[in-house]
A = this chain, B = another copy of it.
Amino acid sequence: DDDAASAMLGMEVLHVGPGEARVSMVVRDDMVNGHDLCHGGLIASLADSAFALACNSHGPVTVAAGFSVDFLEPARLGQVLEASAREVVLRGRSGLYDVTVRAGDTVVAEFRGRSRSLR
C-alpha cells in the first residue's frame, strides 16, 4: 500500500466500490487524550481516508478540497471505528461525499467531504 499515513494509523480497508468505501480503525492508546477519548482529528482522518478511496474509485486522480465533521459521541480506547463513505453527487470534476463513522451501532461522527479531480 502506498498510503503510509493510513498504515501508520492501522486502518483496514473493508470495501471499495464505485463511489463508496468502508475503512476501519481501532482506537489505540497512542490515539487518545488523557480521558481515553480518541483525538477528533484522528476520527476525521479515518473518515478522510474512506472519502479518498470513494472519490478515487472512478479512476481520475481526485483530491480533497475540504471537509466538515460533526462529532456526535466520543470514541473510546479500544473501540473499533468503521467509516462508511458514499457519493452524494459527482458533477464534472467536483464531488460531494458523506461519511458516517460508527462504533458498533453508535454514530460517532458525520463527515462531508468535497473532492476535485485533477484532470
Number of contacting residues on A, CB 8 A? 45
Q: Find residues 63-92 in chain A having any chain B CB closer than 8 Å to their own CB.
A: 63-73, 88-89, 91
From B5, B47, B72, A33 is in contact (CB under 8 Å) with B5
Q: How many copies does the complex hold?
A: 4
Q: Report if A45 contacts B (CB, 8 A).
A: yes
Q: Is the interface of A mostly helix, strand, loop or mixed?
A: mixed
Q: Report if A54 contacts B (CB, 8 A).
A: no
Residues on the B chain within 8 Å of A40, using CB: 48, 52, 64, 67
Residues on A facing B (Cβ under 8 Å): 2-8, 29-34, 38-42, 44-49, 52, 63-73, 88-89, 91, 94, 96, 107, 110, 112, 114
